[in-house]
A and B are shown apart, each in its own frame.
Chain A
Amino acid sequence: GAVVSQHPSWVICKSGTSVKIECRSLDFQATTMFWYRQFPKQSLMLMATSNEGSKATYEQGVEKDKFLINHASLTLSTLTVTSAHPEDSSFYICSAGLEPGQGVDQPQHFGDGTRLSIL
């Protein structure tokens, strides 16, 4: 089955540093990937849609300059939290959308998430 690998799984860093999170589709190509943020005991909040070879589409209220997304290949999307602050601490999850030619009844496949803690 389709596997999405997300790395790292846990990050603790000082305020002001930048953190990069990688999302890879291991056995399939993902033209589109999604980045979500999840607060404790809350649902997923879609942050942005990452499109291979083009700019990401950000949801309303998400700072583009704070959360940089790059989708350089069909198997890799990265989210960089720039100049991170304690309020950026959260659980970030990526998922892969449909690959070219895939049936629209297929589910999204999720990575295992990254727990980001900013001190």
Chain B
Amino acid sequence: AQSVAQPEDQVNVAEGNPLTVKCTYSVSGNPYLFWYVQYPNRGLQFLLKYITGDNLVKGSYGFEAEFNKSQTSFHLKKPSALVSDSALYFCAVRPLYNFNKFYFGSGTKLNVKP
């Protein structure tokens, strides 16, 4: 079965410290990988994606993500967290065999404390 796992329901980090939000996937082939952020009572906003090429991709608001093919992971990172980064983060995977199918992780609540 195809699946996306975000093992942490919540991640707590102090402002200014680096943050990591984990994502692993089990999807056939070499899927496309995405990260989205959701603020309260809002839809999902696209942050970044991995399609091919360099394993480290950079996205909006200073976020980046590292793709690891052997571990089938796509962890979201930021060198220095801001309080305003506090939100719900979703990892999503699009398989090559169905371009209109997205598999979402369960979401990780990021809390950045001043």
Contact = CB atoms under 8 A, between A and B. Distances in A.
B51 A105 contact: yes
Contacts of A49: 100
B74 interface: no
Interface string A100-119: 00001101111111010000
A25 interface: no
A37 B106 CA distance: 13
Interface of B: 32, 34, 36, 41-46, 49, 51, 90, 92, 94, 96, 99-100, 102, 104-107, 109
Interface residues of A, number: 26
B90 A43 contact: yes
Contacts of B100: 32, 34, 49, 97-98
Interface of A: 4, 6, 9, 32, 34, 41-44, 46, 49, 91, 93, 95, 97-98, 104-105, 107-113, 115
A44 B107 CA distance: 9
A2 to B, nearest CB: 9
Contact of B43 (A97, A104, A105, A112): A112
A41 B40 CA distance: 11
B99 A43 contact: no
A119 B46 CA distance: 33
B90 A111 contact: no
Contacts of A91: 41
A97 B101 CA distance: 9
Contacts of B99: 97-98, 104
Given A43-B90, A43-B107, A97-B100, A115 B49 contact: no
B41 A115 contact: yes
Contacts of A105: 32, 49, 51
A41 B108 CA distance: 9
